[in-house]
């Protein structure tokens, strides 16, 4: 399960937490949390351990506990509509069929959070999407996946500073 394409968001969060010296992961809010500092800002990383289509329950509980507005959230997730290794950052928007985002939108009452869309590519046929998303990364992905995750972790301070465009540029240059 850990190497499934659907888990690229968790993989990115793990790399960020490791790179920036976050606390060990612990169970809270129906998920796993780790805390640290990036760019002088306290960050709480959360990996919901619910089913994907209920991940908003975990996010909403954590937000309520920390009294965080929706605008303070950054969600890292897989994106079928981007080629492998491509990254896009945007605030708000639709769920585009992603059940985790749909759950977050519903539970938070707003889609106005930052989304870091991590490209995993599309299998080419809609009938193959489920198997593709739930399938493990393959040998060919070793050419881009580690470099992408390392770059996301290295340039995470730019996200914290609200410099999404610079973050995307720097990550693209590292691959």
CATH of the domain at 126: 3.40.50.1470
**Rounded Cα gap, residues 138 and 90, in angstroms:** 28
For residue 25, the Cα-to-chain-centroid distance in whole angstroms is 16
95 φψ region: left (φ > 0), alpha (ψ -120 to 50), beta (else): alpha
What pLDDT is recorded for position 93?
85
Question: CA of 73: how far to CAs of 15, 85, 144, in Å?
Answer: 18, 22, 26
What pLDDT is recorded for position 28?
96
What pLDDT is recorded for position 33?
97
User: Looking at the 3D structure of the chain, how many domains does it have?
Assistant: 1
What pLDDT is recorded for position 154?
97
Collect the ranges in the chain with pLDDT lower than 50.
none
What pLDDT is recorded for position 175?
63
What pLDDT is recorded for position 73?
96
**Half-sphere exposure of 60 toward its Cβ, with a 13 Å CA cutoff?**
17
What pLDDT is recorded for position 95?
78
Describe the crossing of helices 55-66 and 99-108 by its angle, rounded to 10 degrees: 40
Which residues are catalytic, by number?
6
23: closest CA among 38, 33, 13? 33
What pLDDT is recorded for position 63?
95
Domain hosting residue 30, numbered range: 5-174
Neighbours of 164 (CB within 10 A): 18
**Rounded Cα gap, residues 135 and 3, in angstroms:** 8
């Amino acid at each position: 399960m850990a190497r499934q394409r659907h888990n690229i968001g968790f993989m990115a969060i793990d790399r960020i937490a490791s790179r920036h010296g976050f606390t060990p992961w612990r169970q809270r809010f129906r998920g796993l949390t780790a805390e640290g500092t990036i760019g002088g800002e306290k960050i709480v990383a959360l990996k919901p351990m619910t089913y994907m289509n209920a991940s908003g329950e975990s996010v909403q509980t954590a937000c309520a506990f920390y009294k965080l507005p929706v605008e303070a959230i950054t969600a890292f997730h897989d994106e079928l509509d981007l080629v492998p290794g491509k990254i896009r950052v945007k605030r708000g928007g639709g769920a585009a069929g992603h059940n985790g985002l749909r759950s977050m939108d519903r539970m938070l009452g707003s889609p106005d959070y930052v989304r870091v869309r991590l490209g995993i590519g599309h299998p080419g046929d809609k009938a193959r999407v489920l198997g593709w998303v739930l399938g493990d990364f393959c040998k060919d992905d070793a050419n881009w996946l580690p470099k992408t995750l390392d770059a996301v972790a290295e340039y995470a301070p730019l996200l914290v500073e609200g410099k999404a465009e610079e973050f995307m540029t720097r990550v693209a240059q590292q691959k």
